[in-house]
């Protein structure tokens, strides 16, 4: 059996899998990571690849990493959550394995995975938004992944939405990531809890009386059980997301908009308000076809599977 290995490097863990041509993961492993030690991350990737090699005849390796990847898919120019600055990851990994290695941005890889094998597989043009700690983006147009002249296209979370708004981790103010992400959800929830709002008492109780312990999954769990504040927080996030989608659709005109990332686990508590805001804000609404907003299908495997398939096609 010929296959490729997909690698998804996160801030605290590395997921690796052997992936066949139809997107099936036939073997898995993982490694813990220390984001401040780039050499150890490469060592962990190589160790995981070696573990998986006996599972199949591996023809290539695809690596998904959060950061700016150069046009040649060889170097991580900048990674916000990993200590990588102009790191030649392709060469570093290829020095220890005897197959070609391809590096890709994690959101791009996830978009490709969903396009090939998930929620976008029936379309030629697709927009993916990953709503997690941040807001990631991936674009497929005419069945091709959009990477831009320098490899750093689709940074949709860093399109500015509010001039002089919240400070973003990228250094600018008012990026969509500050209003349509898991971090935005947690910030709002903690602010409500710290304000002494009676509506936030349920969230605060779940967090053991400490606002700083409120997390995105905690808010989602509370909303599923009917907590009014949690439902309103997710609805507010959904409206922000839908407004962002309307702007992106006006620019790109995709056939479908796929929402992934950890916050998408909230399902229609998030996507219902997002669809309503999108339909209200879309330019030319009522006189044009409107792309559906759907939930991603591959979950946490999207980046791994997408990276593996990109390595196969490179």
Mean pLDDT of 108-121: 98
Contacts (Cβ under 8 Å, ≥6 apart) of 311: 4, 5, 6, 60, 61, 62, 100, 101, 102
pLDDT at 265: 95
**135 lies in the same domain as 263:** yes
Whole-model pTM?
0.94
**77 lies in the same domain as 200:** no
What's the longest Cα–Cα distance across the chain? 61
pLDDT of 2 higher than 80: no
Residue 44 lies in a domain: yes
Residue 83 lies in a domain: yes
**8 lies in the same domain as 101:** yes
pLDDT of 35 higher than 80: no
Q: What's the CATH number where 251 sits?
A: 3.30.420.40
The CA angle 63-93-62, to the nearest 5 degrees, is 20
**276 lies in the same domain as 136:** yes
Residues above pLDDT 90, as percent of the chain: 87
Which of 69-83, 105-119, 172-186, 284-298 shows the lowest per-residue confidence on average (mean pLDDT)? Answer: 69-83
**205 lies in the same domain as 59:** no
**162 lies in the same domain as 184:** yes
Mean pLDDT of 136-163: 95
CA-CA distances (angstroms) from residue 190 to 21, 202, 207, 208, 279? Answer: 44, 12, 10, 13, 30
**31 lies in the same domain as 176:** no
Alpha carbons 82 and 65: distance in angstroms, whole number: 9
**129 lies in the same domain as 56:** no
**140 lies in the same domain as 48:** no
Which of 68-72, 82-86, 201-205, 240-244 shows the lowest per-residue confidence on average (mean pLDDT)? Answer: 82-86
Which letter does DSSP use for residue 226 in this model?
T
pLDDT at 313: 79
> Helix or strand or coil: residue 313?
helix
pLDDT of 169 higher than 80: yes
User: Closest Cα partner for 46 from 99, 1, 83?
Assistant: 99
Mean pLDDT of 269-289: 95
Alpha carbons 165 and 87: distance in angstroms, whole number: 32
**216 lies in the same domain as 273:** yes
Position 171 confidence tier, pLDDT thresholds 50, 70, 90 = confident
pLDDT at 38: 83
pLDDT of 116 higher than 90: yes
DSSP 280-291: HH-TTTTSS--P
Residue 227 and residue 269 in contact, taking contact as beta carbons nearer than 8 Å = no
Q: How many domains does the chain have?
A: 2
Residue 117 lies in a domain: no
Return the number of other C-beta atoms located less than 10 Å from residue 26's C-beta.
13
Separation of CA 155 from chain center: 11
User: Closest Cα partner for 115 from 255, 225, 279, 311?
Assistant: 255
Tens of pLDDT, residue by residue over 222-249, are 999 999 999 999 999 999 999 999 999 9
Mean pLDDT of 89-103: 95
**273 lies in the same domain as 167:** yes
Residue 64 lies in a domain: yes
User: Closest Cα partner for 35 from 67, 16, 10?
Assistant: 10
Place of tokens 């490899």: 151
Q: Which range marks the domain in which residue 180 is found?
A: 122-296
Residue 17 lies in a domain: yes
User: In what side-by-side order are the strands of the sheet with 85-87?
Assistant: 68-69, 76-78, 85-87
Position 253 confidence tier, pLDDT thresholds 50, 70, 90 = very high
Residue 125 and residue 141 in contact, taking contact as beta carbons nearer than 8 Å = yes
**76 lies in the same domain as 189:** no
């Amino acid at each position: 059996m010929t296959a490729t290995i997909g690698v998804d490097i996160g801030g605290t863990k590395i997921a690796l899998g052997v992936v066949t041509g139809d997107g099936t993961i036939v073997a898995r492993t993982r490694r813990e990571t220390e984001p401040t030690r780039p050499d150890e991350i490469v060592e962990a990737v190589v160790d995981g690849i070696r573990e998986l090699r006996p599972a199949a005849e591996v023809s290539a390796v695809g690596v998904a990493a959060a950061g700016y990847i150069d046009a040649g898919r060889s170097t991580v120019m900048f990674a916000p959550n990993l200590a990588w600055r102009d790191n030649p990851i392709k060469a570093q990994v290829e020095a220890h394995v005897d197959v070609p290695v391809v590096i890709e941005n994690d959101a791009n890889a996830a978009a490709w995975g969903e396009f090939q094998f998930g929620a976008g597989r029936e379309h030629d043009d697709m927009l993916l938004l990953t709503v997690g700690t941040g807001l990631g983006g991936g674009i497929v147009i005419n069945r091709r992944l959009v990477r831009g002249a320098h490899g750093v296209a689709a940074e949709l979370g860093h399109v500015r939405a509010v001039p002089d708004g919240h400070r973003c981790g990228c250094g600018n103010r008012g990026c969509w990531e500050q209003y349509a992400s898991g971090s935005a959800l947690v910030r709002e929830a903690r602010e409500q809890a710290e304000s002494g709002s009676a509506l936030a008492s349920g969230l605060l109780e779940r967090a053991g009386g400490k606002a700083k312990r409120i997390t995105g999954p905690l808010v989602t769990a509370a909303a599923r059980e009917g907590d009014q504040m949690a439902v309103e927080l997710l609805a507010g996030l959904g409206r922000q997301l839908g407004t962002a989608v309307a702007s992106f659709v006006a620019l790109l005109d995709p056939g479908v908009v796929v929402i992934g990332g950890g916050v998408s686990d909230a399902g229609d508590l998030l996507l219902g308000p997002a669809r309503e805001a999108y339909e209200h804000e879309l330019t030319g609404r009522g006189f044009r076809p409107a792309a559906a907003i759907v939930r991603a299908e591959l979950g946490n495997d999207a980046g791994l599977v997408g990276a593996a398939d990109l390595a196969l096609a490179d």
